[in-house]
Amino acid sequence: MTTLTVTHPTGAYPIVIGRHLLADFRQHVGTTAPYIVITDTNVQPLYAHHFDDALDVIVLPAGEKHKTLETVNGVYGRLLRAGLDRSGFLVALGGGVIGDMTGFIASSYMRGVGFVQCPTTLLAMVDASVGGKTGVDLPEGKNLVGAFKQPFAVIADLETLHTLEPDEFACGMAETIKHGVINDPELFTFLERDSRPMTAARPELHQMVESAIEVKREVVQEDPYEHGRRAQLNLGHTFGHAIENVSGFVVKHGEAVAMGMMVAAEVAAALGHCAADLPSRIKATLLAHNLPVTIPADLDVDAIITMMGSDKKKKGGVIRYILPRALGDCFLTAAVPHDLIAQTITALQE
Ligand SMILES: NC(=O)c1ccc[n+]([C@@H]2O[C@H](COP(=O)([O-])OP(=O)(O)OC[C@H]3O[C@@H](n4cnc5c(N)ncnc54)[C@H](O)[C@@H]3O)[C@@H](O)[C@H]2O)c1
Ligand SMILES: [Zn+2]
């Protein structure tokens, strides 16, 4: 078991990483206060039994399409009826969808109650549960309503990843590889040299998750409210979000991030910003961990580019891209010719 500490403008919280942590949940959060668990229909039957002293367990429908104000609105009354007041706290038990919604509820219920993240997907462990961004989607787009709300603990129980679908595990690997490219060359080269895909059973998982969280921790500590450096975490995301959207969400987020990282690397290499072999190194590493490296041919290039224009990172009418300069070194730039992006996407289509 290891613990990392995240400091933020109003305090600090531990991220506990290990196996079989949920069985000793109370001990790890270090409080005897009353709490309510919020989880989803897939996770409840697997892991809710660890929380037998909860005031209530609220089970929400699983999936991004339920990350809405309607779902959140249905929760507040149940918290009241179960008797939760500001002396109690909420537990988010699930992936990033549950973490984002529970954090948002915790930020607003009675003007704020404490909450603990118990991420059960690899993506939620290495990315969504750390950094205090919470929220819900609107019909107009993802994460358009939300709040910064820091958890008071994150309990990452690696054992829960055994039950995760392989494609969901791979999506978490995309963000992990992304963290290596942004800020941890050692993490990247470990995954590059690894002869087999990472799995929940492998002992190396612990160190990998810890290193990936460490990257996010370092970035969010420096830029807690996303005014600057935190934009680096969006490597592959400007292209990825557009691909995800144009595919009608058939391409999953992590898969789209993998494709988006390929576009970013190829564009950076074409402009001479990075070594010529960086795209092939990223490609081999993504492939080794069961991620796609080509863009489906049926996705229209113009539609992808138009969609990028509506990305919320667009600033003052200019789209800004995060490009790799080297492993562990990325930068933000608007100076990418439109034609080069179109050519790169086309060249990556299978
Ligand atoms: N707040 C942030 O900083 C941040 C960062 C990245 C992503 N996100 C958000 O995270 C969400 C994506 O998170 P996600 O990929 O975890 O999605 P998710 O929460 O939808 O989980 C994916 C699927 O796995 C199931 N599941 C979860 N844990 C399981 C387990 N242990 N065993 C079996 N099944 C399990 C879920 O029910 C769901 O069907 C998006 O909404 C995204 O916007 C937030
Ligand atoms: Zn992402």
Centre of ligand 1 from the C-alpha of residue 63, in Å: 8
Considering the four listed CATH numbers 2.40.50.180, 3.40.50.1970, 3.40.50.2300, 3.30.70.980, the one that applies to the domain covering 2-163 is: 3.40.50.1970
Q: Does the beta carbon of 252 lie inside 6 Å of ligand 1?
A: no
C-alpha span between 320 and 154 (Å, rounded): 32
Centre of ligand 2 from the C-alpha of residue 253, in Å: 6
Question: What is the pLDDT averaged over residues 147-166?
Answer: 98
Q: Does the beta carbon of 226 lie inside 6 Å of ligand 1?
A: no
Ligand nearest to the CA of 123: 1
Q: Does the beta carbon of 95 lie inside 6 Å of ligand 1?
A: yes
Q: Does the beta carbon of 62 lie inside 6 Å of ligand 1?
A: yes
Residues forming the active site: 111, 133, 175, 216, 226, 230, 234, 237, 241, 253
Q: Identify the residue whose C-alpha is closest to ligand 1 atom 42.
A: 96
Domain layout of the chain by residue ranges:
2-163, 201-348
Task: With 0.85 as the threshold, say if the pTM is over it.
Answer: yes
pLDDT at position 225 over 70: yes
Asked, colleague to colleague, whether 2-163 and 201-348 share their fold, the answer is no
Ligand 1 atom at minimum distance from 41 CA? 37
pLDDT at position 183 over 80: yes
Centre of ligand 1 from the C-alpha of residue 224, in Å: 22
Here the tokens at position 39 are 């989880």
Q: pLDDT over 90 for what percent of the chain? A: 94
Q: Does the beta carbon of 224 lie inside 6 Å of ligand 1?
A: no
Q: Where are the alpha helices (DSSP H) in the chain?
A: 25-29, 44-47, 69-81, 96-108, 122-123, 166-183, 185-193, 204-222, 237-246, 253-270, 278-288, 301-309, 338-348
For residue range 59-87, what is the model confidence (pLDDT) as tens digits?
999 999 999 999 999 999 999 999 999 99
C-alpha span between 101 and 314 (Å, rounded): 25
15: region left, alpha or beta (phi > 0 left; psi from -120 to 50 alpha) = beta
Considering the four listed CATH numbers 1.10.220.110, 1.10.3720.10, 3.90.330.10, 1.20.1090.10, the one that applies to the domain covering 201-348 is: 1.20.1090.10
pLDDT, position 64: 94
* Cβ contacts of 304 within 8 Å, gap of 6 or more: 239, 242, 243, 246, 295, 345
pLDDT at position 141 over 90: no
Q: Does the beta carbon of 98 lie inside 6 Å of ligand 1?
A: yes
Question: What is the pLDDT averaged over residues 127-149?
Answer: 95
- Closest by alpha carbon to 109, among 136, 133, 73? 73
pLDDT at position 131 over 90: yes
For residue range 279-326, what is the model confidence (pLDDT) as tens digits?
999 999 999 999 999 999 999 999 999 999 876 555 567 889 999 999
Ligand 1 atom at minimum distance from 142 CA? 43
- Average predicted confidence (pLDDT) for the chain: 96
pLDDT, position 314: 57
Q: Does the beta carbon of 100 lie inside 6 Å of ligand 1?
A: yes
Centre of ligand 1 from the C-alpha of residue 45, in Å: 16
Q: Identify the residue whose C-alpha is closest to ligand 1 atom 3.
A: 128
